[in-house]
Amino acid sequence: MRIKKLTVLIISLSLIFLFNSWAQQGRGRGRIHGTVKDDAGNPLEGVKIVAQHLKYNTTFESKSDKKGNWAIAGLGTGYFRITATKEGYAPVYHEMRVSQFSRNNPPIHFTLKKVQVRALDTPAIEDEASVAIFEEGNNLFDQGDYQGAITKFEEFLAKNPSLYHVHVNLGNCYREMGEYDKALEHYQIVLDKVKESSGSYEGNEVAARAMASMGHVYIKKGDLSQARGYLKQAVDIFPQDETLAFNVAEIYFKEREIDEAIKYYKVAIKIKPDWAPPYRQIGYAYLNKGDYRNAVDNLKKFVQLAPDDPQAATIRNLIPKLEELIKK
């Protein structure tokens, strides 16, 4: 009976968070900030920063100043894709969960690489039409229209063949469609291009995302040995990014690989100890294992770091009930 009550409470917690998100429609009082530099470390002015809520497609915009600094306010709680674009540079994006009630949203530091202009008078490739096509592809993906997204990403690549990182987006579409071999082909193109241009994967976020995506595919294929290898390598080659480790943990959690999820939530915590979301998620992971002591410890830490988070009040109510179970 206690287990059933606990299950109902956890489900209620999830529903409350969902309703809060719906009410906000992607808008709130959250703030994110960061910097933009070129690959030589110089600040870039006038970079367009777009934050898109992945559920509601609500967008927020900003531009970097002379020092390369930027900030966006008015964001609601949820997962966002933050894209940085500037004419003459390859666009990049970063995905993360934003809390409108937390001061601990981590800064996002973008590095833009100059597009190499080829012979034969290749036209400028970072234009508004291309950006619109890319964003439309992302929107279709978020709506579950994967074939439509593929059409847009392929159209983007036809106009901008040097921006090979879009193969990650194509791979993600094929992964969600269950066409795993095609997905792996696109991720491998990214890795080959990175190796060709840089000679190494180390410190390359695009390569890390491709590796993580490959790991996700192998989990879906049931090949956990291959999956663990790629997901570990993703974090190893870009170890300074807590959101990458967090996303790897989320992949494992979604696929019910709880021990591996816990491992990478801990990696995210090690990189950024004052970031609240991994503590909440690792608390839920321990709940799945029936390890109430570790669940309580991590949920308490989450509440301490993010006392005004929409889930904090419900978690506060959950903690005493878990402590009662520990005493039994």
Which of residues 279 and 90 earns the better pLDDT score? 279
What is the pLDDT at residue 117?
35
Range among 26-30, 83-87, 146-150, 244-248 with highest mean pLDDT value: 146-150
Segment 197-202 shows an average pLDDT of 84
Q: Tell whether 35 is covered by a domain.
A: yes
> Among 126-130, 251-255, 262-266, 287-291, which is the least confidently predicted range?
126-130
Q: Tell whether 32 is covered by a domain.
A: yes
Length of the chain: 328
> Residues 6 or more apart from 267 whose CB is under 8 A from it?
235, 245, 248, 249
Rounded to the nearest 10 degrees, the angle between the axes of helix 146-159 and helix 128-142 is: 160
Which of residues 55 and 178 earns the better pLDDT score? 178
Domain range enclosing 46: 1-115
Question: Binning pLDDT at 50, 70 and 90, where does residue 27 land?
Answer: confident
In what order do the strands lie in the sheet containing 78-85? 59-63, 48-53, 78-85, 92-98
Q: Tell whether 201 is covered by a domain.
A: no
Question: Binning pLDDT at 50, 70 and 90, where does residue 147 land?
Answer: very high
Q: Tell whether 38 is covered by a domain.
A: yes
What is the pLDDT at residue 181?
94
The overall average pLDDT reported for the chain is 81
Segment 317-327 shows an average pLDDT of 85
Rounded to the nearest 10 degrees, the angle between the axes of helix 312-327 and helix 277-289 is: 30
Q: Tell whether 273 is covered by a domain.
A: no
Segment 40-51 shows an average pLDDT of 88
Residue 119 has pLDDT above 80, yes or no: no
Assign 3-state DSSP to the chain and report helix, strand, coil percentages, each to 5. Answer: 55, 15, 30
Q: What is the DSSP letter of 85?
A: E
Measured CA to CA, the distance from residue 166 to residue 13 in angstroms comes to: 36
Q: Tell whether 202 is covered by a domain.
A: no
Segment 48-68 shows an average pLDDT of 86
What is the pLDDT at residue 98?
84
Contact 104, 30 (CB under 8 A): no
**Number of separate domains in the chain:** 1
Contact 277, 246 (CB under 8 A): yes
Number of Cβ within 10 Å of residue 125's Cβ equals 19
Q: Which burial class, exposed, middle or buried, applies to 148 when counting CB atoms under 10 A from its CB (0-12, 13-18, 19+)?
A: middle
3-state secondary structure of 273: coil
Which residues on adjacent β-strands are paired with residue 221? none
> Among 29-33, 46-50, 118-122, 283-287, which is the least confidently predicted range?
118-122
Measured CA to CA, the distance from residue 156 to residue 133 in angstroms comes to: 6
What is the pLDDT at residue 115?
56
Question: Binning pLDDT at 50, 70 and 90, where does residue 162 land?
Answer: confident
Q: Tell whether 156 is covered by a domain.
A: no
Residue 51 has pLDDT above 50, yes or no: yes
What is the pLDDT at residue 122?
30
Question: Binning pLDDT at 50, 70 and 90, where does residue 8 land?
Answer: very low
> Among 91-105, 221-235, 286-300, 309-323, which is the least confidently predicted range?
91-105
Segment 188-198 shows an average pLDDT of 89
What is the pLDDT at residue 73?
87
The CATH number for 109's domain is 2.60.40.10
Q: What is the pLDDT of residues 276-295, one digit of tens each?
A: 888 998 998 998 888 989 99
Contact 33, 94 (CB under 8 A): no
Q: Tell whether 246 is covered by a domain.
A: no
